Chain A
Amino acid sequence: MLMGYSFGDLGSIMAMQGFAGLILFSVFVLMALGLAVIFGQMGVINMAHGEFMILGAYVTFLTSRLFTTYLPGAFGAYFFVAVVLAFCAAGLAGMAVEWLLIRHLYRRPLDTLLATWGLSLILQQVYRSVFGAREVGVDQPEWMMGAANLSESIQIPINGLIVMALTTLIAVAVYLLIFRFGWGKQIRAVMQNRAMAGAVGIDTARVDRLTFGLGCGIAGVAGSAFTMIGSTSPTAGQLYIVDAFLVVVFGGTGSLIGTIASAFTISQARSTLEFFLSGSMAQVVVLLTVVGILMLRPQGLFVLKVRR
């Protein structure tokens, strides 16, 4: 018994809040996946990751506007176009940033952190100048606003299901790319010994750029999903960066399953607690718990013992 709720009630609350948290969970997973690629594989801290997500959100917003104006008949399908565009836009922007900035700083992780923070400030100001300081919301097509009846009492929002499916698709793709097709090996080889990786025929500059671009592109997709739960503003990305980093380290860097499991744990704990506490206190409790656990187990939850 907890605060007057029976366990049966608690189960229902968990389930309902759980489904309500589907999109938040997806945003977390996508943000964290992007970071897991960039931070977990390359060891680069990208503080502008949230701004790449917001770039995806603005692209989604623009796409929806374009469809309303020029293709109102096809509005129902705009989201899928937007996702692809968001991925490309954020990915290309990421590759440009890697070329202009990140590649000069690979040996200096703390400096990268500060430089990308500077980049995030610049991007925020650019968004503000281009899109205005006000928040923008995106209309969703009619059919995505509905809900599927799972049982009489439990309903699942359709948009949640779509985002969920998209997230699964991307997670599987990243898994295959990094862990099955050997790209991860190339990335780690480059990070551990750049000269040697180059000597055995890996195009190190290309690996760096594509990896960083991939991570940012996934953040862009997170932005598309984000438009469904929040309104887009120049500074909205900053709110997610700390959570996203905690998700990655909590899961254990380099562990894809860990990243997803920890995104699930954190987002579900938060939406469940929000039922009992105010939103801000739920966030405090979750963050404190995660930080507390990380202090006891800094390597994260899913990491193997290796020789240092």
Chain B
Amino acid sequence: MASNTDHLLAVEGLTVSFDGFRAVDDLSFYLDRGEIRVVIGPNGAGKTTVLDLICGRTQATAGSIRFEGAELTRMKEHQIVRAGVGRKFQTPSIYEDLTVFENLELSFPRGRSVFGALAFRRDSEVSGQVEEMARSMFLQDHLDRPAGILSHGQKQWLEIGMLLIQDPALLMLDEPVAGMSVSERAKTAELLRRIIQRRSVLVIEHDMGFVESIADKVMVLHQGRVISEGSIAHVKADRRVVDVYLGH
């Protein structure tokens, strides 16, 4: 195996416990540049907690998370974002009172300090990028509408767009197609394949059809540990995975 520095993300010995309950237990995995990795596992397996740990929302009890050579466990959330990690939440998390345009504009990576925000001007670069992003998220006709009135699927896209406009090297998506219609799912899968070009993606998803349509590699979590890792065919054939999903 190549040395850790070749990976975009290297998670080693990651552990977090809440009052003695180990939600993530000595977890290690490596993510390559340009890879789409899907995390699956039963409820309570620790999937969302892993994303929380990487983006700094939860403090690790032990272990390390290295991202492009930087140790994320010692950084604050906004620093992790600025280092190039984007995170989408399970339920769409957008600013309902602001327009689609403003939602994207606020996510544009400029003027992020207090005084930078005071001095921020909406120039042609910002408008251009926002409009382009809206087009790729199928939202070009909704720019001036408050985001609160979008459909559930459109809100999911908007949030993905808000992440992409930051141009992150690692994109983490928590159940991006939950609550979407069949056609929206297909569109989202296409979208993800398109945006993957220059970045790595870590996705939590339950929908196996969707997983098969996008994943390079699948990782199965159970009780905070990786019990199987590899191609979809490999994982599906794994006895332990079947046991976990069907129960003993």
Contacts and interface: CB of A to CB of B under 8 A. Distances in A.
**Touch A–B, Cβ below 8 Å:** yes
B23 interface: yes
Contacts of A306: 18-19
Question: For chain A, which range describes its interface: under 10, 10 to 19, 20 to 34, or 35 or more residues?
Answer: under 10
A304 B19 contact: yes
B213 interface: no
Contacts of B49: 307
A108 interface: no
A304 to B, nearest CB: 5
A306 B58 CA distance: 10
A304 B18 CA distance: 9
Interface string A179-203: 0000000000000000000000000
A308 B49 CA distance: 10
Main secondary structure of the interface of A (DSSP, over half): loop
Contacts of A104: none
Interface string B2-19: 000000000000000011
Contacts of A304: 19
B101 to A, nearest CB: 29
A258 to B, nearest CB: 16
A134 interface: no
Interface in A280-308: 304-308
A299 to B, nearest CB: 14
A308 B56 CA distance: 12
A307 B57 CA distance: 10
B19 A308 contact: no
B7 to A, nearest CB: 27
A21 to B, nearest CB: 35
A73 B18 CA distance: 60
Contacts of B58: 307-308
Interface in B15-49: 18-19, 23, 49
Contacts of B19: 304-306
Contacts of A305: 18-19
Given A307-B23, A307-B49, 4 more contacts: A305-B19, A306-B19, A307-B18, A308-B58
11 contacts: A304-B19, A305-B18, A305-B19, A306-B18, A306-B19, A307-B18, A307-B23, A307-B49, A307-B58, A308-B57, A308-B58
